[in-house]
Structures are given as C-alpha cells and as structure tokens.
C-alpha cells in the first residue's frame, strides 16, 4: 500500500573532542545538506534574557577569528550555498545547504562559526536591534501572536512557555557579554552533533570533519536536565487586537514528550481529529459550516514534554461558535473513537505521506538530526508504517481521552476583545491582555 521507507546507510564517528558526526551518502541532485545541532536551545535562556540562544546563534554568524560577518556572507553565497542559524525550544542549530562540490569550503565556515565566533560588539548590537524591530512586525501578524500566546498560556512558568525569539524587554537589555557567555557555556562538542547528507562520499566528509572539528573543546561539567512541564492550568485568554476582522484561535491541552510510547497513537488520533482534508474538524468546521479556511490539530512534542494543539481562525462574529464546534467534535471523538473506515483511511494517508517527507537531502538531514537529538533509533523511520498500522481503534480512543482538551484546556483567541471576550466567557473566566504584552 505504501512504498518501502529506508534511510541511506549511515556512518557515525565520535571525534576526539566529543562531537558526534553522522554522515549519509545519497544519490540525487548534486547538493549536500549539513546540520550542526547543539542541544538545549531556547530552554537554556536565563531568566530575563529570553531570546538569548537565538541571538547567540545568529550573532555567531557575524564574525570569527578569521573572517568578518560580511566575508562569511559573501563566501557562502558566492558558492551558491546557504548557511542559516536557528533555535527552537530544545536546540540551537546551524543549517548548511550547498552544492556538493562546495561542501568542504562551506564546512570550514560552519566549523569556525560554531567553534570560534568573536561576537563583534557592533554586529551583536545591530542584530539585537533588528530582532527587536522584527518583533514589532510579528506583532502585526495575528497568527504569530496566537502561537506565542498559546505557548505562554499552556506552559506557564516552564521554559517552553517562552518564544525562542524572546521578548522586547529582554532583548533590549541583552549585551554582547551575555551572548559570549552563553556561547562559552553551552556550545560544547560533547553534547553536540553534526549530520551531513547528500551526493558526497562519507569517508571524505568524515575526514573533513576530523580536520576541522577534532580540536574543538567546550566547557566541562554536566548540563542541568530540563524538568517536565506541569499540565496547563485551564484558562481562556483573549489577546486584544482591536482592528482585525478575523480571530485566530488556539486550543491546547497537555501532551507528551517526543520519546513517549504515545507518540505513534498520538499521530494517528490527532490526524483523525484534525489532520488532512477529511479530518473530523475539517469536515465540521470547513466543509459543513464554512466557518474557516483551515483547521488542524497536532501533538507538539519536545524533549521534556509537549502539548496537544488545535489551530484555526474565523471571522470575529463566529469566534465562539468555532471553539464550540471544535470542542464538541473533540468530545464526540473521545466518546466514540474512530470508525473502522476512518481509521484505515487515516493510517493509509499517514503511511503514504511519510516517504514524501524524506525525499530531499535537507529532509533526510533534518530527520537524522531529529532522531539523534531525541535519542531515537533509525528504525523509527523504517518501521513507521508498521507502527502506524499497529494503532487500533481502542488505542486511538484511549490516547484521545488522555490528552485531548476535555476538561483541562487553554483557549486562546486573538481578536477585538470588545467583540469576542463576552461570547468566549462560556468556556471559562476570560482574561484579556493587550497584544503588545505578548512581545
């Protein structure tokens, strides 16, 4: 029914300084993809310094002992490559996509950026100002505001509550010293790993990695593990944006970490409820009522925990109606579980789609990095279809009942409070906050 899935043969090596290197040769377009991952990410941001991991990763690209930021930009781009830096709640990462023949020169730069950045004060300050200015533009995007608000509401005091891009006040207060200290403390080869995938020869990539990264040393000592987040405290939050004509809606409840045994049942259950074009939420909200252009549900899984999340939007007048429909459908699903045909269709859909997520070098590189970061085995990929097929209606219903938003849930709506706060009060006491407080 669905094509066989396999990863290319993988070579692994641990370098002298502790960095793990993972290389996979693949046929296909003459490109290569590399990803250097430093576990921790935004969850390592100190208090009142949200956005620091993000700032550090981007600032690392702005100058090394051998090259200025401008020289790095020019070299990488002249080779037809891209070198990006990013941060999520569990990791900082540097992503490289390059023509295969340019990989060696690009990897030199990647190695310098990660191991020997100089953080020129002028560049750090400029980046910081740019990040703050970018947050102003984010504030004009209702969907971005809603995503921030639901993390904050669902995770409470836990570090996962903070957006990796940080808050204006914290970024404004951040200094070059904060950035350099973050790098010195958290960029450590013993925790980090490098994945390279593409039309390259594994042996040559390994030799290259040895030459460039063997001598890298980082701070010693254990990293404190991140505690599991507590379950969300029920809340109804209206983020006031007085002038929009459409409300962005998020509903969240407790989920599970990426390594949970509930992962595969969760994928199936959330897909039946709100994945694809034939899900229950899509049918109830879009097809039967024309309330929205889109609705989806998913488990957002991270290292220390996760949430279940429903996302949609509708005109201001129907904000409460769409929440009600979503909650009713969720309750009905928890009550009945999936039908036989529905479950079979969803499993086929998930299994059919999966190989399409592993077509390019970039996609395979990201998948290998994901497996490594969360300590998962490669047979999660080859055994994907088997595990999805093993999810029975009973297991599906059980996972839905355990996690879907029945009682303990957070409802977030971004829109004009004067129009939506009152109708939403039927879901619990409403707290209204101005949108700018989310930044």
Partner 1 sequence: MPRPKRAPAPALDLAGVRAHLLPNGLRVRLLPERSAATISYYTFFQVGSRNERLGTTGISHLFEHMMFNGAAKYGPKEFDRVLESRGGHSNAYTSNDVTAYYEDFAAEALETVVDLESDRMRSLRLTSDSLEQEREVVKEERRLRTENSIFGLMEEQLEALVFLAHPYRWPVIGWMEDISRITREDCEGFFRTYYAPNNAAIYAVGDLDPDATFLLLERAYGDIPAGPRVAAVPQGEPPQRGERRASVRYPAQAPALLAGWRGPPARSPDSAALDVLQACLAVGESSRLRRRLVQELELAVSISIGWGWRIDPGVFLAFAELAPRASVDRTEKVLWAELARVAERGVTAAELRRAQALLRSSVLHELATHHGVAHALGQAEALLGDWREAGRALEHYAAVGAGDVRRVAREYLDPARRCVVVLEPEGRP
One of 13, 88, 191, 283 touching partner 1 (CB under 8 A) = 283
Judged by CB under 8 A, which of 139, 376, 406, 433 binds partner 1? Answer: 139
Which pairing describes strands 306-315 and 246-254: parallel, antiparallel, or unpaired?
A: antiparallel
Q: What is d(CA 100, CA 102) in angstroms, rounded to the nearest whole number?
A: 5
**Distance, CA of 293 to CA of 313 (rounded, Å):** 8
- If one asks whether residue 81 binds partner 1 (CB under 8 A), the answer comes out as yes
Task: Identify residues 378-437 at the interface with partner 1 (CB under 8 A).
Answer: none
Q: Are strands 295-301 and 246-254 parallel, antiparallel or unpaired?
A: unpaired
Per rule CB under 8 A, is residue 289 in the interface with partner 1?
A: yes
Among 406, 291, 265, CA closest to 346: 265
Are 35 and 94 in contact by the 8 Å Cβ rule? The answer is yes
Any alpha helices (H) in 275-358, and if so which ranges? 280-281, 319-336, 340-353
Measured distance CA(133)–CA(135) in Å, rounded: 5
| Number of amino acids touching partner 1 (CB under 8 A) | 79
Structure tokens that stand for 214 in this block: 């063997």
- Return the range that interacts with partner 1 (CB under 8 A); candidates 70-78, 109-117, 219-227, 258-266: 70-78
Contact region for partner 1 (CB under 8 A) — 9-17, 47-55, 80-88, 397-405? 80-88
- Give the per-residue contact string, 226-265, with partner 1 (x = CB under 8 A; - = no): ----------------xxxxx-------------------
- Residue 181 or 419: the one with the smaller Cβ distance to partner 1 is 419
* 317 near partner 1, judged by CB under 8 A: no
- CA–CA separation, 157 and 125 (whole Å): 29
Contacting partner 1 (CB under 8 A), which of 192, 226, 291, 413?
Answer: 291
Span near partner 1 by CB under 8 A; candidates 9-17, 169-177, 199-207, 230-238? 199-207
Chain-centre distance of CA 382, in angstroms? 23
- Binding test (CB under 8 A) with partner 1, winner from 258, 361, 367, 402: 361
Stretch that binds partner 1, among 158-166, 232-240, 279-287, 365-373 (CB under 8 A): 279-287
The residues pairing with 248 across neighbouring beta strands, listed in sequence order, are 313, 414
* Interface residue with partner 1, options 16, 29, 328, 390 (CB under 8 A): 29
Extended strands (E) in 144-245: 193-198, 235-240
Interface mask (CB under 8 A) for partner 1, residues 88-127, using x and -? ---------xxxxx-xx---------------------x-
Q: Please count the CA atoms within 13 angstroms of the CA of 4 that sit on its side-chain side.
A: 3
């Amino acid at each position: 029914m669905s094509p066989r899935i396999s990863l290319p043969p993988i070579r692994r090596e641990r370098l002298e300084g502790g960095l793990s290197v993972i290389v996979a040769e693949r046929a296909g377009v003459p490109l290569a993809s590399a990803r250097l991952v430093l576990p921790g990410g935004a969850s390592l941001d100190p208090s009142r310094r949200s956005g620091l991991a993000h700032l550090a990763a981007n600032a690392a690209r702005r100058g090394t002992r051998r090259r200025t930021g401008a020289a790095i930009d020019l070299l990488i781009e002249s080779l037809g490559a891209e070198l990006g830096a990013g941060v999520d709640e569990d990791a900082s990462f540097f992503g490289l996509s390059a023509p295969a023949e340019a990989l060696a020169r690009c990897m030199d730069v990647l190695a310098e950026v990660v191991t020997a950045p100089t953080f020129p004060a002028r560049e750090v300050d400029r980046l910081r100002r740019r990040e703050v200015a970018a947050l102003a533009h984010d504030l004009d995007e209702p969907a971005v505001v809603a995503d921030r608000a639901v993390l904050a509401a669902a995770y409470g005091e836990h570090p996962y509550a903070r957006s990796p891009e940080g808050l204006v006040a914290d970024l404004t207060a951040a200094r070059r010293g904060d950035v350099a200290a973050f790098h010195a403390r958290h960029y450590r080869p013993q925790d980090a790993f490098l994945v390279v995938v593409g039309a390259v020869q594994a042996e040559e990539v390994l030799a290259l990695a040895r030459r460039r990264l063997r001598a890298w040393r980082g701070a010693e000592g254990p990293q404190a593990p991140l505690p599991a987040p507590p379950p969300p405290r029920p809340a109804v939050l209206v983020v006031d944006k007085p002038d929009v004509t459409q409300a962005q809606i998020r509903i969240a409840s407790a989920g599970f970490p990426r390594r949970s045994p509930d992962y595969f049942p969760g994928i199936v259950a959330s897909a039946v409820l709100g994945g694809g074009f034939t899900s229950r939420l899509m049918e109830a909200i879009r097809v039967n009522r024309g309330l929205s252009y889109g609705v989806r549900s998913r488990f957002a899984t991270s290292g220390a925990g996760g949430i279940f999340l429903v996302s949609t939007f509708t005109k201001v007048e129907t904000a409460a109606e769409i929440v009600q429909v979503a909650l009713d459908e969720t309750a009905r699903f928890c009550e009945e579980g999936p039908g036989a045909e529905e479950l079979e269709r969803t499993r086929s859909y998930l299994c059919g789609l999966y190989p399409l997520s592993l077509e390019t070098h970039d996609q395979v590189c990201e998948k290998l990095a994901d497996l490594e970061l969360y300590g998962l085995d490669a047979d999660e990929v080859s055994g994907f279809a088997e595990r999805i097929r093993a999810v029975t209606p009973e297991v599906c219903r059980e996972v839905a009942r355990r996690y879907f938003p029945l009682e303990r849930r957070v409802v977030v709506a971004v829109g004009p409070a004067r129009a939506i706060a009152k109708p939403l009060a039927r879901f619990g006491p409403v707290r209204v906050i101005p949108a700018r407080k989310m930044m």
